[in-house]
Amino acid sequence: MMLLSCPWCGPRDENEFACAGTTHIVRPGPEVSDAEWGRYLFFRANPKGVHRERWRHVYGCGQWFNVARDTVTHQVLAVYRMTEPPPAVPGEGP
């Protein structure tokens, strides 16, 4: 069970949070092709390593925030607010 640091509430057990998957996905406009829309909806890098993802402190303040986390070791490399620019973290591929 991971320990995540909510930017508002501090470190809390993983089961207070919900993960909604990859973050920083750019939402295309309605004019794009079906293929591009499908890629936006479903296709993910799914990295084995650093993953930028979106969490919500559901059983807490209810706020969403971003996490950079290693999907193999589960080490949390960065936590930052939705509106903050993504900080660089070690181990992230191109």
Partner 1 sequence: MSGHRLAAPAGAFIDRSRTVEFSFNGRPYQGYEGDTLASALLANGVRLVGRSFKLHRPRGIWSAGAEEPSALVDVGSGARRTPNVRATLLPIVPGLSCVSVNCWPGVRLDLGAVNGFFAAVLPAGFYYKTFKWPDWHWYEPAIRRMAGLGVAPREPDPDHYEEVTHATDVLVVGAGLAGLASAVAAARAGARVCLLSGSAHCGGALGWRGDVEVAGLEREARALGVRILMRTVAFGVYDHNLVCALETVSEEGAADLPACVLRERLWKIRAHSVIAAQGAFERPVVFPDNDRPGVMLAHAALKYARAFAVAPGRRALLLANSDAGLALAPQLAACGIEIAAVADGRSQQVEVSAVHGARGVRGATLRAPDGSTERVHCDLILSAGGFAPAVHLHSQAGGRLRWIKDSAMFVPDGAAPGLWSVGACAGAFDRAQARAHAEGTGDALARGQPVPPPPVSGAGICPPARAVARVSGKQFVDLQNDVAAGDIALAARENYRSVEHLKRYTTTGMGTDQGKTSNINALILMGELTQRAAPEVGTTRFRPPYVPVSVGAVVGRRTGALYRPLRRLPAHEWHVGRGALFEIFGDWLRPAAYPLAGESLEAAAEREAHAVRSTAGILDGSPLGKLEVFGPDAARFLDYMYVGSMSSLAVGQARYGLLLNENGTVVDDGIVARLGAERFWVNTTTAGIERTQAAFEEWLQCEFVDFRVLVTPVTSRWANVTVAGPRAWAWLAAAGFDPALAPAAMKHMTLKDSRIEGVPLRVLRASFSGELGYEINLPALKSRWLLERLWSKAAGIGAVPYGIEALQVLRVEKGYLHIGTDTDGTTLPQDVGFARGLERKSVAFVGRRSLTRAAGRDPKRPQMVGLVPADATTVLPVGAQIADRPPPTLTQGHVTSSYRSPALGHPVALAMLADGAARTGDTVRVHHLGRSYAARVVALPFYDPKGSRLNG
Partner 2 sequence: MKYSALALLRGALSGPDSWSPAWRSPEPKPEYEVIVIGAGGHGLATAYYLARNHGIRNVAVLERGWLGGGNTGRNTTIVRSNYLFPESARLYEFSLRLYESLTRELNFNIMLSQRGLILLAHSRHDLDAMSRWANAMRMNGIDAELLSRDEVAAAAPLLNLSPEARFPILGGFTQRRAGTARHDAVAWGYARAADALGVDILQNCEVRGFTRDAHGGVTGVETSRGPIRAGRIGIAAAGHSSVLARLAGFSLPVTSYALQAMVTEPTKPALDTVVLSPGTGAYVSQSDKGEMVLGASLDLFPSYAQRGSFALTQGILASTLAIFPSFSRLRLMRQWAGIVDVVHDSSPIIGPTPVPNLFINCGWGTGGFKGIPVGGWTLAHVLATGRSHELAEPFQLERFYTGRLIDEAAAAGIAH
Which residues here bind partner 1, judged by CB under 8 A?
Answer: 1-3, 14, 18, 20, 23, 27, 30, 32, 34, 37-38, 41, 54, 56, 58, 62-64, 73-76, 82-83
The closest alpha carbon to 51, from 81, 72, 82, 28, belongs to 72
Both tokens of 11, joined, read 């470190």
> Token pair of 1, please?
């069970």
Query: Least distance from C-beta 57 to partner 2, angstroms?
Result: 14
| Tokens, residue 25 | 């996905």
Tokens of 10: 């501090």
User: Does the footprint of partner 2 cover residue 11 (CB under 8 A)?
Assistant: no
- Hey, what amino acid is at 36? E
Residue type, 57: H
State the nearest-atom distance from the C-beta of 28 to partner 2, in Å: 13
Residues lying near partner 2 in the complex (CB under 8 A) are found at 1-2, 13-15, 18-19, 21-22, 34-35, 37-39, 41-48, 51, 53, 55, 69, 71-74
